[in-house]
């Protein structure tokens, strides 16, 4: 599965590149990252954001970052869709439009405990990543996904 250094080396390399971010004329208010995904809050205009991206991409020709900007009041990052509402940030589980809702089918020849464990972990993950405002909607979606993958309704309840 690769060297134990595999996760560490890119991190060290990207830290070196991040040091150069600090020499840019305009800086993000906040920068957070996980592996190769960066999240930044930018308090200047979109044109300046484009200039910042050009600056960052000139640091190392081998590392070319891309960006996604907030659409409306929503922004996906990793598995979370962040929603800015009334100057508050709320989290909702993010699924790509191409998501087919396919998971381990209940009729598969896997151990029953594994199927129940998968179901529980999907539910717990959803509830931990989301604000309570979205729980009912998400549990309805998960119920449809479980039913679509052969999970009996008596097991889902």
Query: How many angstroms separate the CA atoms of 118 and 104, rounded?
Result: 8
pLDDT at res. 97: 83
**HSE-CB of 84 using CA atoms within 13 angstroms:** 8
pLDDT at res. 75: 87
- pLDDT of the chain, 157 residues: tens digit per residue: 578 877 788 788 888 888 888 888 998 988 888 877 888 888 999 899 999 999 999 998 988 988 888 888 888 888 889 888 888 889 998 888 888 889 999 999 999 999 999 999 999 999 999 999 999 999 999 999 999 999 999 999 8
pLDDT at res. 1: 55
Q: Are strands 37-41 and 88-93 parallel, antiparallel or unpaired?
A: unpaired
Query: How many angstroms separate the CA atoms of 16 and 12, rounded?
Result: 6
Boundaries of every domain in the chain: 8-57, 97-156
Q: Go through the chain and tell me how many residues it has.
A: 157
């Amino acid at each position: 599965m690769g060297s134990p250094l595999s996760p560490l080396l890119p991190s060290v390399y990207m830290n070196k590149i991040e040091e150069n971010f600090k020499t840019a004329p305009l800086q993000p208010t906040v920068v957070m990252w996980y592996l190769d995904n960066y999240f930044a809050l930018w308090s200047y205009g979109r044109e300046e954001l484009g200039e910042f991206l050009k600056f960052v991409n000139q640091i190392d020709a081998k590392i070319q970052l891309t960006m996604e900007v907030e659409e409306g009041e929503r922004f996906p990052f990793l598995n979370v869709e962040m929603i800015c509402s009334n100057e508050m940030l709320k989290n909702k589980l993010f699924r790509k439009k191409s998501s087919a809702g396919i998971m381990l089918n209940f009729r598969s020849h896997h151990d029953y405990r594994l199927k129940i464990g998968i179901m529980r972990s999907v539910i717990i993950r959803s509830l931990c990543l989301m604000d309570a405002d979205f729980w009912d909607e998400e549990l309805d979606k998960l119920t449809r996904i479980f039913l679509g993958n052969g999970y009996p309704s008596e097991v889902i309840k």
